[in-house]
């Protein structure tokens, strides 16, 4: 992330190294999804690494701006300028020009090869800019004006990598992105509060009798537990709706997509295990739990294929 945008081109640029860089970024920061990504066919797996690398950098800049610009009063303006430069360099890369950052080179290659409409990565960048100025959302519907760009379009772009771009497949993928983003929001309430953000619908907090001082103090009482149970139940419904789109995908990519969904949903279980304390304890899944989920999910997926085949012969 310290590379300088627009620096001079080195004598040799190895695209394979760019993809490897993106894989390292996902391995370090997207543990659950990296576990599932390894089950994709090699070419698709490589493209998924590039997509993750592309979205990770702006997300990190927006979430941790003072790591880039310590003790700088103009940090918001500087992060916005960095996002703008990143977007310009991305467009240059898509047009075939050389740029300095490895994830831009790798993802531009993916955009061209998989014919991803440019509107989707640009909508993602718009959401990152929204994060600089918007810290509260009145309702769940209003929150989705942010989650569309920050997460749903990522699910849509995944569909282009997986070769499933029918409208119904895109709709389910967008829902999967929303489910995963909402899971992140529930897991990271404490971290987001310390960054000055609340990604929880204000009207729903009020309905359960929760005010912002409760978040500031990290109060976990019957009101907070009831609120979190409501949020988790909605997340589970979103995952269930999203998974209805898995049969629309090519067979060779169905299992890793389903596994990614199941692994991410397990974070909700971890939140419950922590007695809904998302202020002091980070909800995590262990490697052993990931392996168990992988085996159970594979058995379920294989059984569904066999059942569907048998039904088709009747």
Q: What is the pLDDT of residues 292-302, one digit of tens each?
A: 999 999 999 98
Both 106 and 170 in one domain: the answer is no
Residues 105 and 138 in one domain: no
pLDDT of 74: 84
CB 186 within 8 A of CB 238: no
Output the pLDDT for position 231.
Answer: 98
Residue 312 belongs to some domain of the structure: no
Q: Are 126 and 138 part of one and the same domain?
A: no
Q: Half-sphere exposure of residue 295, counting CA atoms within 13 Å on the CB side?
A: 5
124 and 174 housed in the same domain: no
User: For the residues 99-122, what does the mean pLDDT come to?
Assistant: 96
Do residues 158 and 276 both lie within one domain?
yes
Cβ–Cβ under 8 Å, residues 131 and 162? no
C-alpha closest to that of 178 among 254, 272, 276, 261: 261
Taking the CA atoms of residue 115, residue 22, residue 60 and residue 175 in that order, the dihedral angle to the nearest 10 degrees is 50
Clarify whether residues 119 and 140 are in a common domain. Answer: no
- In this structure, are 101 and 174 located in the same domain? no
CA 175 to chain centre: 12
Q: What is the reported pLDDT for 307?
A: 52
Give which of 157, 102, 137, 124 is closest to 58, Cα–Cα. Answer: 124
Q: Is the pLDDT assigned to residue 19 strictly greater than 90?
A: yes
Whole-Å CA distances, 40 to 24, 258, 271: 16, 11, 28
Closest CA to 215 of 233, 232, 228: 228
Question: Are 100 and 201 part of one and the same domain?
Answer: no
Element (H, E) at 214: helix 212-217
Same domain, 54 and 66: yes
Instruction: Report the CATH number at residue 228.
Output: 1.10.600.10
Residue 305 domain flag: no
**pLDDT given for residue 306 in this prediction:** 52
Is residue 62 a part of any domain in this protein? yes
Measured CA to CA in angstroms, residue 76 lies from 45, 57, 153 at distances of 34, 16, 24
Residues 6+ apart with CB under 8 A from 172: 241, 242, 243, 244, 245, 246, 248
Q: What value does the CA radius of gyration of the chain take, rounded to a whole number of Å?
A: 20
What pLDDT score does 304 carry? 78
Mean pLDDT of 131-150: 96
* pLDDT at residue 310, as a whole number: 39
Tell me which residue range forms the domain holding 122.
15-133
Residue 1, number of CB atoms within 10 A of its CB:
11
- pTM over the 0.75 mark: yes
Banded model confidence at residue 154, pLDDT cuts 50, 70, 90: very high
pLDDT at 44: 97
Count of the separate structural domains present in the chain: 2
Summarize pLDDT for 163-188 with one digit per residue, the tens: 999 999 999 999 999 999 999 999 99
* Pair 191, 88 in one domain: no
Do 29 and 59 have their domain in common? yes
Residue 191 has pLDDT above 90, yes or no: yes
Q: Provide mean pLDDT across the span 304-310.
A: 56
Residue in the block written with tokens 């159970």: 296
User: Distance between CA 105 and CA 237 in Å, rounded?
Assistant: 37
pLDDT tens for residues 60-78?
999 988 888 876 778 889 9
Who contacts 125 (Cβ-Cβ below 8 Å, separation ≥6)? 58, 83, 86, 87, 90, 149
> From CA 96, how far away is CA 104, in angstroms rounded?
11
Find all residues with CB under 8 Å of 228, minimum gap 6, and list them: 186, 271, 276, 278
């Amino acid at each position: 992330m310290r590379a300088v945008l627009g620096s001079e081109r080195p004598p040799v640029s190895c695209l394979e190294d760019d993809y490897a860089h993106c894989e390292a970024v996902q391995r370090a920061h997207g543990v659950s999804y990296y576990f599932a990504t390894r089950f994709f066919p090699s070419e698709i797996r490589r493209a998924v690494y590039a997509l993750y690398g592309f979205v990770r950098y702006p997300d990190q800049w927006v979430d941790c701006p003072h790591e880039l610009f310590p003790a700088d009063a103009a940090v918001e303006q500087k992060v916005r300028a960095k996002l703008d430069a990143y977007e310009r360099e991305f467009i240059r890369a898509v047009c075939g020009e050389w740029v300095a950052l490895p994830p831009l080179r790798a993802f531009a290659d993916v955009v061209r090869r998989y014919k991803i409409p440019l509107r989707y990565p640009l909508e993602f960048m718009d959401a990152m800019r929204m994060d600089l100025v918007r810290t509260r959302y009145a309702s769940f519907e209003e929150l989705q004006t942010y989650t569309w760009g920050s997460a749903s379009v990522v699910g849509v772009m995944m569909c282009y990598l997986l070769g499933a771009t029918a409208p119904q497949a895109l709709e389910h993928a967008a829902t999967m992105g929303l489910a995963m983003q909402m899971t992140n929001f529930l897991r990271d309430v404490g971290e987001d509060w310390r960054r000055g953000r609340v990604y929880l619908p204000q009207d729903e907090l009020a309905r359960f009798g929760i005010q912002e001082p409760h978040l500031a103090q990290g109060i976990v009482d019957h009101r907070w537990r009831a609120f979190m149970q409501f949020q988790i139940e909605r997340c589970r419904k979103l995952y269930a709706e999203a998974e209805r789109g898995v049969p629309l995908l090519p067979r060779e990519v169905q299992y890793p997509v389903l596994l990614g969904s199941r692994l991410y949903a397990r974070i909700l279980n971890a939140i419950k295990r922590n007695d809904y304390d998302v202020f002091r304890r980070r909800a995590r899944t262990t490697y052993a739990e990931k392996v168990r989920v992988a085996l159970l999910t594979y058995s379920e997926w294989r059984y569904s294929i066999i059942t569907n085949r048998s039904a088709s012969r009747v």
